[in-house]
């Protein structure tokens, strides 16, 4: 898949991490039904590889379901084998390197200009600015875009509705949203409440596009 194009088109990545694999699967399916089909299933969740495999089986191989928290070479290989369409890392290292070698697009975790330079030189498709809130929020992103105007930044960490709006206005290609969107759905919480939150985030994305 063309990860950068997908990020620019959808502008929102849902991050699913839960303790109940069945609930996590239901969460992904509900998000896709609401129109959020760029989804990262974190490997730190329960049976995350199984969740990815089941998502691909339910949705088909063309859906952009990615693996998150890809730390090691083994993580990258397991994500590829499970059918993940892309890999997301919290930082640079073996997980990102091996994912690229396997042909998986990589959303690589960075925080500093040095890390951004390194990630771009290593061929990262896009840059996960993480943890974005602790790094300085939308003003920090805006400052980074001056020396890196062509980089595709995806802020992650503490991105609620207001922050999503601010990051997109500051030039983010997309935003990555975990608990403010998913909340307890991947642990068995309300899917109807999840759907309401999904619609609210999609409204912010549409507002930014308009």
What kind and span of H or E run contains 7?
A: helix 3-10
Q: Does the domain spanning 3-209 belong to CATH 3.40.640.10?
A: no
Per-residue pLDDT band for 58 (boundaries 50, 70, 90) equals: very high
Residue 61 has pLDDT above 80, yes or no: no
CA 71 vs CA 78, 86, 89, 145, 150: distances in Å: 11, 14, 6, 26, 26
Q: Dump the DSSP string for 135-197.
A: HTHHHHHHHHHTT-TT--EEEBSS--HHHHHHHHHTT-S-EEESHHHHTTGGGT--HHHHHHH
| Cα torsion through 72, 78, 82, 86, rounded to 10 | 30
pLDDT at position 26, please?
98
3-state SS, residue 39: strand
Residue 99 has pLDDT above 80, yes or no: yes
Per-residue pLDDT band for 63 (boundaries 50, 70, 90) equals: confident
- Per-domain residue ranges of the chain: 3-209
Residue 62 has pLDDT above 90, yes or no: no
Phi, psi for residue 69 in degrees, rounded to 5: 55, 45
The predicted-structure confidence for 67-76, as pLDDT tens digits, reads as follows: 999 999 999 9
CA triplet 149, 155, 157: central angle to 5 degrees?
160
pTM of the model: 0.97
Residue 7 CA to residue 13 CA, distance in Å, equals: 8
The predicted-structure confidence for 141-195, as pLDDT tens digits, reads as follows: 999 999 999 999 999 999 999 999 999 999 999 999 999 999 999 999 999 999 9
pLDDT at position 210, please?
80
Tell me which of 34, 58, 128, 207 is the catalytic residue.
128
Annotation marks residue 142 as catalytic: no
Q: Are 67 and 52 in contact (CB under 8 A)?
A: yes
Three-state secondary structure of 109-121 = EECCHHHHHHHHH
Tell me which of 40, 101, 142, 207 is the catalytic residue.
40
Annotation marks residue 128 as catalytic: yes
Q: Are 121 and 101 in contact (CB under 8 A)?
A: no
Q: Are 36 and 194 in contact (CB under 8 A)?
A: no
């Amino acid at each position: 898949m063309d990860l950068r194009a997908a990020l620019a088109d959808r502008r929102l990545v849902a991050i699913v991490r839960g303790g109940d694999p069945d609930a996590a699967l239901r969460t992904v399916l509900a998000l896709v039904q609401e129109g959020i089909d760029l989804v990262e299933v974190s490997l730190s969740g329960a049976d995350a590889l199984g969740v990815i495999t089941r998502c691909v089986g339910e949705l088909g191989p063309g859906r952009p379901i990615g693996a998150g928290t890809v730390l090691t070479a083994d993580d990258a290989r397991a994500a590829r084998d499970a059918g993940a369409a892309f890999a997301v890392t919290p930082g640079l290292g073996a997980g990102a390197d091996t994912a690229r070698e396997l042909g998986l697009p990589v959303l690589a975790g960075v925080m500093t200009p040095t890390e951004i330079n390194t990630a771009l030189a290593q061929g990262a498709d896009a840059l996960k600015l993480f943890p974005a809130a602790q790094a300085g929020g939308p003003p920090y992103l805006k400052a980074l875009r001056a020396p890196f105007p062509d980089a595709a930044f995806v802020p992650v960490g503490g991105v609620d509705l207001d922050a999503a709006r601010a990051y997109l206005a500051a030039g983010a290609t997309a935003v990555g949203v975990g608990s403010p969107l998913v909340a307890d759905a991947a642990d068995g919480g309300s899917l109807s409440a999840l759907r309401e939150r999904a619609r609210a985030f999609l409204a912010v994305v549409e507002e930014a596009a308009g």
